[in-house]
């Protein structure tokens, strides 16, 4: 019988995530669930992150003027998203 020293649950979970290869998927999920804290209350109020496909985040926007504004600020928001994720998990954002 092999004796193992106790290990922190966080360490074990990180090892499991790495073993399963789902780290990128979890980071993408966190982008969607953390959207309001990433972009701020004002933008979060008029947007809804829909899905991520092939590294592209699709975001529903409530009005055309807001869509135009956010499209112009796309690179700024993209940088905020990837900074919050701690790694480049999103390569582009499409506002719809």
DSSP letters spanning 15-44 = HHHHHHT-HHHHHHHHHHHTHHHHH-HHHH
> What's residue 85's pLDDT?
93
pTM of the full structure: 0.82
Tell whether the torsion through CA atoms of 58, 84, 30 and 16 is positive or negative. positive
- Rounded Cα gap, residues 23 and 21, in angstroms: 6
pLDDT tens, position by position, 40-67: 999 999 999 999 999 999 999 999 999 9
pLDDT tens track for 15-34? 887 788 788 888 899 999 99
Q: Which domains does the chain have, with CATH numbers?
A: 24-95 (3.30.300.180)
Token representation of residue 31:
């982008």
C-beta neighbour count of 70 within 10 angstroms: 19
């Amino acid at each position: 019988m092999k004796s193992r020293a106790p290990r922190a649950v966080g360490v074990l979970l990180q090892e499991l995530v790495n073993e399963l290869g789902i780290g990128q998927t979890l980071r993408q999920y966190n982008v969607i669930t953390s959207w309001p804290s990433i972009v701020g209350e004002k933008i979060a109020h008029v947007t809804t992150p829909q899905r991520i496909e092939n590294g592209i985040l699709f975001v529903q926007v409530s009005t055309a003027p807001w869509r135009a504004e956010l499209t112009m600020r796309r690179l700024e928001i993209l940088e905020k998203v990837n900074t919050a994720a701690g790694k480049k998990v999103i390569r582009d954002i499409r506002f719809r």
